[in-house]
Amino acid sequence: MKRYLGFAAGAMASVLVLAGCSAGGDSGDESTTIKVAYSKFGNFTQMDDHMKAVKEQYEAANEGMTVELVPIEALENDYFTKLALMNQSEATAPDVMYEDTFKVKSDAEAGYILPLDDYIADWEDWEQFPENAREAGAGDDGKIYGVPMGTDTRAIWYNKQLLADAGVEVPWEPTSWDDILEAATAVKEFNPDLIPFNIYSGKGQSEGASMQGFQMLLSGTDDVLYNSDEKKWVVGSEGFIDSLGFVADIYQGELGPTPQQALDKNVNTTVNAEWLPQAKLAMSLDGSWVSGTWLETGTTPWPEWNDVMGVAAMPTQDGQGAGRTSMSGGWTLAMGAKTKNADAAWDFISLALDEENSLSYDIAASQIAVRTDVGTAPEYVDSNPTFAFFSELVADTHFRPANTEYAKISNEITVAMESVMTGQQTPEEAAEVYDTAVAGIVGEDNTTTKSD
């Protein structure tokens, strides 16, 4: 008898263990809780403020509903990873998520987010979103997966006083890469303790390095990353090597931060919260949103920022084309595919991005407004003296390839940047490694050597 008891107990134990493994997500039909996942890291706390405010409004308007905020405190790249991992399980998948426009297509294909077309059809506010803004949230199948919160452009922020002291004419209007290198050298000669020019680079900064750094250079050459006519990725281009060459000139020429400073995971926070306000850095290639850090609502209020800092458009390599260039991206709100209450999730999204809430977010986070009514509101235009400059750059801006493979290829760009900035490879060698990697990702047939 005893041994049967023992057996029964053993069997029970294993059943319990197995049951424990399968009992994951909770059941319940219409969930009364919606989970909202977004990024909160370093200087970027505006989204957190915004979501907290919308949570209050939403809960007040919908009795019985609870909004569970899930701020993810991680570097941008880790944010994408954490979000993807959350999306894999029903128990953790968010109902609403803060989604980068360049991730929309691949996440739609991964089945992480839902098309919003049915909801948008009945949404009056959608008229306020111009066609190109709508495109930003579209998937490969043409359906809308994300509602844009704002967009951005990129340019060079510079310290007027430091440049003037170094003998550079202010307002500074560089017309070629050489102008930048010249100004940087002048700053270096004026005071060797200053960091002349910052360009994000390396794997740690991931998309920031690829977009704010590399693609701001490449888009000013005669070459492109992706040939949209042939629908093929460009390899072996001169522009790619030249862009890496510029990164090498800055880092190996000691015109930027030291490579170890630039590879620090927190350099992005350091640049905008310390180096610029403390006048340790003369020029920084960065986004239109940077001034949000210095507003009263930001993490590092700096009332004098507008007197100290100037902005200059990024020149093309030799002044070709329009003579200036920029890159644009932006973020959206998207609905999680594993949501148990899609209607509630949509209500939250549409509330968070109505006129009033978009206005307050775009001002606080220094976003270029996408909603027409917000973009033309005097309250918005007057709130930040750089808005006019950055909005005007939209005329010569570029977008990242709207393509599901982009995210992987962007990673390879940061690998090439890091090996060049640390001097481990020459620009030519790094470009060759990149070409091989691209062929590995998209297949030899989907690459071309022609940029147009």
Residues near another protein (CB under 8 A): 3, 6-7, 10-11, 13-14, 17-18, 21, 77-78, 80-81, 84-85, 103, 106-107, 109-112, 202-204, 206, 259-260, 263, 265, 404-405, 407-408, 411, 418-419, 422, 424, 433, 440
Shortest CB 437 distance to another protein, Å: 9
Shortest CB 142 distance to another protein, Å: 16
Shortest CB 281 distance to another protein, Å: 18
Choice between 53 and 110, CB closer to another protein: 110
CB 239 within 8 A of CB 443: no
Choice between 253 and 321, CB closer to another protein: 253
Shortest CB 111 distance to another protein, Å: 4
Shortest CB 60 distance to another protein, Å: 35
Choice between 7 and 127, CB closer to another protein: 7
Shortest CB 239 distance to another protein, Å: 23
Shortest CB 305 distance to another protein, Å: 28
Shortest CB 52 distance to another protein, Å: 28
Choice between 368 and 413, CB closer to another protein: 413
Choice between 17 and 60, CB closer to another protein: 17
Choice between 160 and 265, CB closer to another protein: 265
Shortest CB 128 distance to another protein, Å: 30
Select from 245, 332, 244, 330 the least CA-distant residue to 287.
330
Shortest CB 338 distance to another protein, Å: 12
Read off the amino acid at residue 50.
Answer: H
Shortest CB 419 distance to another protein, Å: 5
Choice between 310 and 329, CB closer to another protein: 329
- What secondary structure, in 3-state letters, does the chain show? CHHHHHHHHHHHHHHHHHHHHHCCCCCCCCCCEEEEEEECECCECHHHHHHHHHHHHHHHHCCCCEEEEEEECCCHHHHHHHHHHHHCCCCCCCCEEEEEHHHHHHHHHCCCECCCHHHHHCCHHHHHCCHHHHHHCECCCCCECEEEEEECCEEEEEEHHHHHHCCCCCCCCCCCHHHHHHHHHHHHHHCCCCEEEECCCCHHHHHHHHHHHHHHHHCCCCCCCEECCCCEEECCCHHHHHHHHHHHHHHHCCCCCCHHHHHCCCHHHHHHHHHCCCCCEEEEEEEHHHHHHCCCCCCCCCCCHHHHEEEECEECCCCCCCCEEEEECEEEEEEECCCCCHHHHHHHHHHHCCHHHHHHHHHHCCCECCCHHHHCCHHHHHHCCCHHHHHHHHHHEEECCCCCCHHHHHHHHHHHHHHHHCCCCCHHHHHHHHHHHHHHHHCHHHEECCCC
Q: Which two tokens stand for residue 200?
A: 């994000």
Choice between 95 and 412, CB closer to another protein: 412
Q: Which residues contact 417 (CB under 8 A, 6 or more apart)?
A: 201, 202, 209, 210, 213, 214, 244, 247, 430
Choice between 10 and 301, CB closer to another protein: 10
Choice between 108 and 309, CB closer to another protein: 108
